Amino acid sequence: MPLKSYKNQMKIKEALIWAKKELKHKKIESWMLEAEIILAYIVKDTKEYLYAHPEDELNKKQEAGFRKLIQKRLTGWPTPYLIKHREFFGLNLFVNQKVLIPRQATESIIEYILENYRLDTNSKILEIGTGSGCIIVTLGKLFPVAKITAVDISKSALKIAELNAKNNVVRNIKFRQSNLFNKIKGRFDIIIANLPYLSPAKSKTIKYEPVVALNGGKQGLEIIKRFLFQAPNFLTPKGKIIIEISPTQKNALIKFIKKQLTDYHFNIEIRKDLSIKDRLVIITASQLKLGRPTSPELSPR
């Protein structure tokens, strides 16, 4: 559908009408909300402002910018990348194509920890694969006295996570570049992992987001399995491992844990997300045997 041309400057109400029509025609699921979000970003104000000032005119720069972003959205660009912003558990986060866009399903990790922990100055948390920092920055905000470490294999992702911590005034996180546990020492009460869990074929179907944060290797489980072989050696007694997974991976992961990690005793719990899908695997160390498991032959990440 061609873009409509306005002889005079476009008003806010006209801009919304046009954008909503274009997005709806393209079958964008949340066409109304996304039009509002993008225009609010352009005018540097709130969605409420748009409806309180429908007759206000966009200047030429605003109109050109709005048209450009809507056109990119019509071609498939995710809105968070267009506006460099994503809200997660009430926090405002900067995002770009160097990191995955935080998903609502991931908020299940925060909810689980809030329900089960009162973290204090003795509490030690580690996140492997922090990405935008959405999980760990939120936890740092909620538990400002806890000792927190966050790592990622990507320097670019770490810079964004550090920026999000700074922007949200979170000061109790140490950020380190590491391939899983390579640069990690010590033991932690909670180890969180939101690692790539898509198969190579599936990861290629998702455009615009970084493949390194999506491709989990064979069956989407290769990196998670390598993580699981190493993680117990960094847990405190009765510490917990919390992993976000694809709902289709639950049975395969439980089978792997019971068959391969025989040097450890674990309690395994499955937690559903807000969509009632199996989303988290929560592993509690109940008893540690002597010896350590031998890591399987997995291709390097």
Mean pLDDT, residues 264-285: 90
Measure Cα distances from 209 to 48, 97, 205, 246, 291 in Å.
Answer: 30, 6, 10, 17, 40
**How sure is the predictor about 6, in pLDDT bands with cuts at 50, 70 and 90?**
very low
Give the DSSP letter string of 154-208. -HHHHHHHHHHHHHTT--SEEEEE-STTTT--S-EEEEEE----B-HHHHTTS-S
CA–CA gap between residue 262 and residue 159 (Å, rounded):
38
> What is the set of domains in the chain, with CATH numbers?
12-83 (1.10.8.10), 86-288 (3.40.50.150)
- 184-224 confidence digits (pLDDT tens): 999 999 999 999 998 888 888 889 999 989 888 888 899 99
Select from 282, 268, 240, 286 the least CA-distant residue to 124.
240
Q: Is the pTM of this model over 0.85?
A: yes
Residue 283 has pLDDT above 80, yes or no: yes
- The per-residue pLDDT for range 64-84, each reduced to its tens digit, is 999 999 999 999 999 999 999
User: Could you give the CA distance from residue 260 to residue 240 in angstroms, rounded to a whole number?
Assistant: 18
